[in-house]
Structure 1
Amino acid sequence: MTRETRKSERLRAGALPDPTGVENIVEQAGDLAVYISADGEVAGISVNPDCPSLGCLDHWVGRPFENFLTVESKDKFDRRVAKMQADPDVTPRALELNHVDNATWEFPIRYTLHRVYEGGGMLLLGRDMQPIAEVQQRLVAEQTARERDQQRLRGEQTFYHVVLEASETPLILVEPEKGRIRDLNSAAAVLLGTTPETLSGSSLAQAFDGRKREELIEAMRSAAGSREARGIDLVARRNERDLKLYPEFFRAAGELFILCRVRPVDGEAGDSIEVAQVMGALFAAASDAIVITDGKGVIRDANEAFLTIADAAQLRDVRDTNLADFLVRGAVDTKLMLETASKQGRLRAYATQIASVVGTRASVEASVTRLRDPSGDFGYGFILRNTALSEGADAEVTSVVSEEAMKNVMDLVGTASLKELVSATSDVIEKLCIETAVQLTGNNRVAAAEMLGLSRQSLYVKLRKHGLINATADE
């Protein structure tokens, strides 16, 4: 169908009354012109020939305009038409609508609405927004890709720092042009007598005695360029340790860097690494249960022996739980051990009982030591030795004492009333219990009162009653 034929059809439809004048003006005023009759049908349509992306839309004529709008655009168009009908004097603002055609084709048009008073129709002059929408989509895609790349970059940086810090080899990353330390791990900082934060970004020459920046960089270039592994003898400025620097060149993102391995001349670092490995093996294979906690008694690590005595299948079953959960006397014992170790640095041979996750109990002798981790926070190390083997002998002694005590009580029968016998026996048992609690807590009377379920004042009264304390010492 030619352009003249379409003009004739629109003319017969009554949309554009003057094909030689008004129609040309309408076509040039926008990319798309739609005349809608009073009943909401498309009475005429004109597409600017300079906008071929819209294609031929003559099939809209005679059909409801809303058939070619998306759901949200229908509501938007109906509200705007209702507002124009309610107030004829209002000047309508531009309206952006999304059209649908041929089921899948969707395109945005920005319309200006104009009343046609004769016949009650409406003329919509539209500007094609597809080019702008495509630019916006490309912009969103570029922004999404950029955020994805930044996230990937942050992940790579995290991996880099984790691997660098986990390395037992002291490493320093240097920018050769400026002679500046780009990065280093804690192992290298320890050899230099400071922290990574202090040295990062500073001049490498400032970390050593008797070395100028140009001289040191030249020596590093010469050593790195040599086919043999050549080290540079240096002396750390902060702790005066004799060190050896082994530099190697590498290139990243077009820039040249030097990776330096640092080794002590006296070999202390190698010895310390070997000792750390041996201590780790000892921790894992020790027959006594070993537990590492934070300052509040929360378990951070434990060896296999503790998992066995606690009937736990694996470390994650006990990690992040408080040690008090595995003690029969719970928080009383934990508080006493932590307070004593905090004040004195250590606690030796404290008798307590472990309650496993299935409810079984085992008598242990606990030794506690106050620890300090690399971050400066304090924790505690517990060594729990199972005393089940020596319980048999203790039981025999207890049995003998119990039989002797019972015999003494039986000898008193007939010399005193039953009430007096029971009262005397209760006093003996009470005294024994108080003495045991005081002994277990290392004469910590607050902890002993908690262990016995007494108030502090009641404990002092009973101590005086049984002659375990006098008024002068109390004061």
Structure 2
Amino acid sequence: MNLESTNGDQIPFSDPEAMFEGFSKADILNLAYCAGDFMLAIDENKIVRDISVNVRDHAFASQWIGQKWADTVTVDSKAKIEQLLNGDQPSSNNWRQVNHSHDGDDIPVNYKVIKPENSHWHIAIGRDLRSISVLQQRLLKTQQSMERDYLHLRQTETRYRLLFDNISYPVLIADAEGHVIQQANRACHALMGVAPGALDGKAFSSLVDIEYRDALLSYIASVAVNSAISPLSVRLAGRSGLVKLAASTFRQSGKQYWLVNIDDGLHEVPGKQSDKYVLDVVEKMPDAFVLTDEKQSIIVANRAFAELVQAGSVEQLLGVSLNRFIGRPDVDLGLLKKQLKDHQNVRNFSSVVNDLNGGEEPVEISAILIEREQPLFGYSVRGIGRRERDLPQSTGNYPRSVEQLTELVGRKPLKEIVRESTDLIERMCIEAALVHTSDNRASAAEILGLSRQSLYSKLHRHGLGNLLGKD
């Protein structure tokens, strides 16, 4: 093979005459068929005289015979057609995309025109770009949905940082494994007399006087077992007087962290059960949040959850079982509860919320288990109906794959899933029979082992075209 390119775009065969010696016209046509979905023969008057296409997918192209090629495309593509026919292209290997008009839709096709030296014909080879266009639209909508979610995440993170940094009392977050400070607010930095950000990355124990460090480590170990333990009095490094440390644990991304409040006697440090800042964030956050006891009775819910289930007020929900609203009773929450006991947290569990008016909303649930004398379960519920509406919808009202059918488990009774599976299989078999017989209903009924009347009835039930098919 000669790696020298004659026109900068192609690497030709070094000996094409030898390569194609013995090729018949049929062989050459087969090569051309492999190049694209459309083949158009265009005369010197720029009129389409003949076509070669796949009848199943591109039968509409037969309407172009006898028309000027430029008349079959949209207005913005006419100039491209003239350029293709006149050879006005930067390179002979260039393909040009044009849009054909058909039944009110634009069909994008990528064309290359070949003009034999000793013939007045032009041969246009085209590739159907509709499947690529659908993928591009799906990618665009998914990207837009991700950007909206990312913007929402950034806004939530900004609110959290503002809240954390503006709390009046000293508070810090430390890694439970290495006891390294991950973040401390301005009040904590002011208490230690250092510049903002100077505490990040330092050992938590370095804030405490040496003689209190063993007590601090024992206290942290005790809190990991029993979060109700009393605060620890210690003296901070380089300072006189005692302060009280109150630590609580939480998990994020599979790692354990400590949230530590420091009571220096100068600020009002709220108790864990009455932290108005945290409660205010939970109440105003856009995602639904609910806290339940061991029996899944609702203890705390925010306004977003009340709106999600169409309740008049949050107070109306207190004491009600969460099973009333999440998925099928005792099914979805039972699975969540088991996962929480095994792993302490669950992310993006797919389910549905049943509101008080009988409606359903697809949701994703993230949950956490808070281990106390009486375990508590926290659920963050995010509606994903908008995201599903943004994505391209599948044709028909039936599931189109085994994966989609299995996703119905826990949301619908087995009887309904089996019925939908049967309808799906029946519809797909009928569609395959119609394709196999070129839409001849009599032949389709014969290969399916049905009477013609039974086939027409099923066609009507599945909405598969009109009832005046070929017999």
TM-score bin (small chain): 0.3 to 0.5
The alignment's TM-score, normalised by the length of structure 1, stands at 0.46
Q: TM-score, normalised by structure 2?
A: 0.46
Considering fraction of residues, name the structure with more helix: 1
Q: Larger Cα Rg: Structure 1 or Structure 2?
A: 1
